[in-house]
Amino acid sequence: MASNGSDVPPVGRTPLRATADNALKIVVVGGFGVGKTTLVGSVSEIRPLNTEEVMTRAGEGIDPAGSWGKRSTTVAFDFGRITLSERQVLYLFGAPGQERFWFLWDRLFSGALGAVVLVDTRRLEDSWYAIDRLEHHGTPFIVARNNFGEPGHTLEQVREALDLPPEVPLVDCDARDRESGKRVLISLVHHLAALAGADADALAGADAAAPADAEALAPVPAAAEPPALAGAPDAIYEESTP
């Protein structure tokens, strides 16, 4: 990139702090045209990188553009950034929604702390694949209903339609609004913290039980062995668990 003769960054771009050394990753997934590009762009502190391309006649019959008035589409991924502290930065990746680009999702999920599944209640079935792939990878996620108008269903009805477990958060949002988008990300962070706390509690419980288990499994001292077996040479003992 050619220098502009100044240390001032281009308009619309925030330089990354030189002290930042810990990168965190969140992925935004969902069906075609649910607002993933809009959400990433609304919360990013930098001008987001996107791979939007104008849809052409070649895509007719493949992408349902006419139904929703959409004239461009993401062909790779969207990228945004939020600085969390002097040393931590959050990277946002918006996945493409068209079925022919789903092969990219598995790579985008790699290394992600968690994901936001953005849904449009007019086309809930478009979100099933995203939820399935996240569950397959074991990636924690929340679901955000992007309101394109007055909601026609309650969140509980949406949860039932998506067959979401009760522990998966389901929230409302407006992908166009920065504060609303930030609340979605905060909800995901709270969910991740709750899962980490549950894992820590389970680990602590296992550690607390370990001494008793170890004592129960400890070999019987030689002096306590039955007299008939104590002097048996080269004896081999096998324990089996039912």
pLDDT, tens digit, 9 for 90 and up, residues 163-206: 999 999 999 999 999 999 999 999 999 999 999 988 777 767 66
Q: What is the pLDDT of residues 38-72, one digit of tens each?
A: 999 999 998 877 655 454 455 555 555 544 554 54
The Cα angle at residue 14 between residues 83 and 11, in degrees rounded to 5: 155
Distance CA 148, CA 165 (A): 25
DSSP letter string over 183-217? HHHHHHHHHHHHHHHHHHHHHHHHHHHHHHHHHHH
Is the whole-model pTM more than 0.85?
A: no
Question: Checking DSSP bridges between strand 114-119 and strand 22-30, what pairing results, if any?
Answer: parallel
Place of tokens 């052409």: 56
CA dihedral 197, 155, 127, 185 (to 10 degrees): -40
Top-ranked range on mean pLDDT: pick from 6-20, 145-159, 170-184, 210-224: 170-184
Q: What DSSP element (H or E) covers 105?
A: helix 105-109
